[in-house]
Structure 1
Amino acid sequence: MSEVRTVLGDIPASGLGVCDAHDHLFLRTPALAGQELDDVDLADGRLRAFRRLGGASVVQWTPYGMGRRAGELAALSRAAGVHVVAATGLHQAAHYAPKALERILPELEELFVSEVTEGIGATGVRAGLIKVAGDFHGVGAHARLTMTAAARAHRRTGAPVAVHLELGTGAADVLDLLCGEEGMDPSRVILGHLGRSPDPVQQLEAARAGAFLAFDGPSRANHATDWRLWDQLAALVSAGFGGQLLLGGDTTVPQTPGMPYLLRRLRPRLERFLGEEPAHAVFVANPARAFALAGA
């Protein structure tokens, strides 16, 4: 039976229910100075609002060293009645102090494995996801290092690998590295932010390769997100790839509409525009497969 590793332990993948496939309860980075997500009460409020709208699980993509507050996640999950999946992994170099990178880069694979199998620090919370990041239209040296470590940690733990695509670009390069060079099964890769570069050819190529495609429209209205989301999803469903699509709120700053908006506005529109069956796949069936531990 497939299982997903949540902050309260492993659960049957079929128990995830309605899932926000890409979000952040907590996030801190010098790239967004003064806009940190660091308030436990606000995180609790967003989770409870998500639950009232029928939400059952949230996958937090916040990786190592970016204020993920792993020690708070179990209590928040329990209190709100929402499954939470935590992430290990490493973002782009710009999000870290150079000295911190010097210390951690040589140990990335072991760090990722340890946080999935043993826990994040002394919190007792185990990560169920490895999050890394590409570069604008490519994979640079830092991204290559982190993705290689992620692929090898995946082989040892079964945890899926989620990838931040910079402005939605570089999917082919990411898949070449993870699945070509490192031999990952594409179905264990989740490509994030594809909607920020509404390139239909890139999206179809990634879908044909077998990866999951995560769209996170509400996070930034100045990108081609909500207003092109429907045509992108419709094209992929029509092409037969409805079983590989995911949606997430991607709350990155306090002003992001995020989790509640995902179910309050986007889900009803998806049901009206594409139908209840594709919507159920996006919110329930697809996350259960995308976030399951390989071999579990």
Structure 2
Amino acid sequence: MDALAVRTVLGDLPAAELGVCDSHDHLFLRSPRLPGEELTDADAAERQLREFAAHGGQSLVQWTPYGMGRHTGGLAELARRTGVRLVAATGLHQAVHYAEEPPADLAELFVEELTEGVRGSVCGAAPRAGLIKVAGDFHGLGPHARRTLTAAAEAHHATGAPIAVHLELGTGAAQVLSLLCGRLGVPPARVLLGHLGRCPDLRMQREAARSGAWLVFDGPSRAHHATDWRLFDSLADLAERGYGDRLLLGGDTVTAAARAEGGVPQVSRVLRPRVERELGEGLARRVFVDNPAQAFAVDWKG
């Protein structure tokens, strides 16, 4: 097997086998910020995955971190039942998404879940996480964000894991990169910047692309997301400037309402064909196949 591998809930996978990938989505999630919108229904998640696969989808990366109902054992069962390759996350979101204080030693938690298995599995061997999900704040980094990003960097250096960052409304990319890559020594190619499309500032997006980090455009699972109409302007601009090899796309289905509007299958049923039609089959292959294989495959240290 290649030295570089994607760590799925069913084990490590050669990068070339990832296939058509939804690079940021959620099959299970709960948060006190989203009462009544929890994603907890395993049967509904299976239906979403089967429809996603029916339109050519082959893998999905769930960014749900520690303490937000990620249901990692459920992910493993869904992977077995549907044949879709699934990647789970460790990490920690913004403090507002938790009713209780997080564990004290975050780096130790992240490393444990990446190398041994996620905490809280009810039976059998616990699946391992394949990436670290953390979050910035609106136009900056507060104490909680700095603490979680610092722990993520420590866990990356111990394991090689990629770090996926929620950018609040698409802001704060420069501050995240300055801390993770400048001060803490994480290679930009191991950083994924999520939600860039929610701040449709083309100059900011180009600067992020120049850093060498991955640019994750997500949210089209929601039929009426406020920034969806700008998505293809951003993709076209970045591709024309030579950054097509830094782009990733995902659905980011975070609520029951988003699932009802289309959810995960929107990525393979609607978004991928539109990228092929409007921006070309070559860019579509990079965004959905080649780039995810590079972004999520690492030389694991444990």
The TM-score range, normalised by the shorter chain, is over 0.9
**Bigger helix share:** 1
Alignment correspondent of 1:114: 112
Q: Output the CA distance in 2 between the equivalents of 1:139 and 1:219.
A: 27
1:293 partner letter? V
Question: Which residue, 266, 289, 293 being the options, matches 1:288?
Answer: 293
1:136 aligns with 2:138: yes
Residues 109-151 of structure 1: CA deviation (Å, up to 9, x unaligned): 0000000000012452000010000000001100000000001
8 Å CA contact 2:168, 2:195 repeated in 1: yes
Question: Which residue, 160, 164, 167 being the options, matches 1:162?
Answer: 164
Report matched runs for 1:32-111 at 5 Å.
32-97=34-99, 99-101=100-102, 104=103, 106-111=104-109
Displacement of 1:23 after TM fit? 0.3
Identity of aligned residues (%): 64
Q: Output the CA distance in 2 between the equivalents of 1:142 and 1:199.
A: 26
Question: Which residue, 263, 286, 294 being the options, matches 2:268?
Answer: 263
Q: Output the CA distance in 2 between the equivalents of 1:155 and 1:37.
A: 32
Report matched runs for 1:2-21 at 5 Å.
2-21=4-23
Q: Output the CA distance in 1 between the equivalents of 2:295 and 2:56.
A: 20
List runs of 5+ in structure 1 lacking aligned partners: none
Q: Secondary structure of the equivalent of 1:5?
A: strand
TM-score by length of 1: 0.96
Residues 267-289 of structure 1: CA deviation (Å, up to 9, x unaligned): 11111111000000000000000
Displacement of 1:219 after TM fit? 4.1
Give the superposed CA RMSD.
Answer: 1.2
Question: Which residue, 196, 200, 218 being the options, matches 1:216?
Answer: 218
Q: Output the CA distance in 1 between the equivalents of 2:73 and 2:286.
A: 32
8 Å CA contact 1:198, 1:224 repeated in 2: no
Displacement of 1:294 after TM fit? 3.8
Q: Secondary structure of the equivalent of 2:65?
A: coil
Q: Secondary structure of the equivalent of 1:255?
A: helix
1:267 partner letter? R
Report matched runs for 1:177-256 at 5 Å.
177-220=179-222, 223-256=225-258
Q: How many residues of Structure 1 are paired with residues of Structure 2 in the alignment?
A: 292
List runs of 5+ in structure 2 lacking aligned partners: none
Q: Output the CA distance in 1 between the equivalents of 2:225 and 2:198.
A: 6
1:184 partner letter? V
8 Å CA contact 1:110, 1:153 repeated in 2: yes
